Amino acid sequence: MSQKQNFNIPLSNPSRELTRINKYYSNLTKQIKSGNYIGGVNVEVFENNLSKFFGVDYVLTLNSGTDALACSLYALGIGKGDEVILPSFTYFATAEVVINTGATPVFADVELDTYCISLEKILPLVTKNTKCIIPVHLYGNNADIENIYHFCKKNNIYLLEDCAQSFGSKTKSDKYLGTFGNVNAFSTYPSKTLGGVGDGGFIITNEKKIYEVIKKYRNHGQSDTYEHEISGINSRMDSINAFSLNAKLNIINKIKKSRFQTVKFYNKIFEIYEEIDSFNSKENILYNYYTIQVPSSKRDSVQQQLNKMRISTSVYYKKPLHKQKALIKNGFKSSNLQNTDALSKKVLSLPLYPFMNNTEKGYLKKTITKVIKSHEII
């Protein structure tokens, strides 16, 4: 008699890609034995490969996506008296870095179908003090970036794309998200589409001045060894992380194809339910998280039951930024955020990672269907 298999489906599985990289572990051992752990050739190669991937002039790696945002705002000269428009429906770091400059966050509502801000939501919030707009491409979706780009260019407003969750996603015109802004910030946290073996991030830009400022700022303001032109921070990517990220970048097309197949798998499950909104299968979008909208009265119960049955889930984001104590204390401006408030009560993210096998998918389909049925969701 065969034993019943015990499943534990994680929300993300960053190690799964490593099994698809030839000689990864043997080469990793060589990297460790080399004794070169900060910066070095691996980082330079990764930056050069990213530059080719995006078709941009400059790339700088950092030790987190948060630092990528912070360094970008520093290079843009954002400070006290400035206003920065961004969504409330995002991770705290996007607003945190704005507050730390002394500028005022101005929260725009998001669209229900993309979970992102749009030019329509931004326009009523623009004032003479608007210095920068930060669209967040949440879950990998496109935040109306082409329209926002043209508006910013016309009105001399800086554009900083938060691409923490959108590596590899494109617009319908086949241009990568993260190539529209004056400078653009990415995260390589392990759960991201291009995730490393530790925290990390990078910026991309075509503006030499921004590149030069961040290059100094990320390394204590150094222009040369022990020559400090400005006061900076310590935000350098380590060599082992860069090595792993480079290896994953080499198989990014396989990762994209596999993730897209899982998105289509989920869409097939949810297409019969009127009360559940799910993603469309857009080949230009490389989803970082597969997120559905569940009736608000049942969302928490559905999540608890799935977690109990060893299917990991998460809510991105249960408490929007305009309701966070730290931001209420520091002060912000906002529009009517009714979509943001509604989504925070409905969204639920399900496991999504590359090379998910058929056995895992079978358990997911069976269990999700059972949980939905038990909650009488139609």
Torsion over CA: 247, 250, 251, 256 (sign): positive
Computed over every residue of the chain, the mean pLDDT equals 95
CATH code of 73's domain = 3.40.640.10
* 153 within some domain: yes
* 78 within some domain: yes
Residues 325 and 355 both lie in one domain: yes
CATH code of 277's domain = 3.90.1150.10
Residues 217 and 269 both lie in one domain: no
* 233 within some domain: yes
**Can you give the pTM of this predicted structure?**
0.95
Residues 206 and 331 both lie in one domain: no
Q: State the pLDDT at residue 318.
A: 96
User: Who contacts 308 (Cβ-Cβ below 8 Å, separation ≥6)?
Assistant: none
Residues 144 and 90 both lie in one domain: yes
Predicted confidence (pLDDT) per residue in 251-269, tens digit: 999 999 999 999 999 999 9
Distance CA 85, CA 131 (A): 8
Q: State the pLDDT at residue 5.
A: 59
Residues 301 and 221 both lie in one domain: no
Residues 241 and 362 both lie in one domain: no
Q: Indicate the number of domains in the chain.
A: 2
Please give the residue that has the higher pLDDT: either 30 or 67: 67
Distance CA 88, CA 70 (A): 18
Other Cβ atoms within 10 Å of 339 Cβ, number: 18
Lowest-confidence range among 35-49, 80-94, 202-216? 35-49
Residues 181 and 260 both lie in one domain: no
Among 231, 249, 267, which residue terminates a domain?
Answer: 249
* 3 within some domain: no
Phi then psi for residue 18, to 5 deg, are -60, -30
Lowest-confidence range among 61-75, 215-229, 342-356? 215-229
Residues 127 and 50 both lie in one domain: yes
Residues 155 and 194 both lie in one domain: yes
Return the CA Rg of the chain.
Answer: 21
Residues 159 and 283 both lie in one domain: no
Q: State the pLDDT at residue 2.
A: 41
Q: State the pLDDT at residue 1.
A: 35
* 6 within some domain: no
| Averaged pLDDT, 205-228 | 95
Q: Taking the C-alpha atoms of 337, 147, 97 and 156 in order, what is their torsion angle to the nearest 10 degrees?
A: -120
Q: Does pLDDT of 247 surpass 60?
A: yes
Local structure of 229: helix, strand or coil: coil
Local structure of 186: helix, strand or coil: strand
Range of the domain at 77: 17-249
Residues 68 and 182 both lie in one domain: yes
* 9 within some domain: no
* 10 within some domain: no
pLDDT exceeding 70 applies to what percent of the chain? 99
Residues 231 and 257 both lie in one domain: no
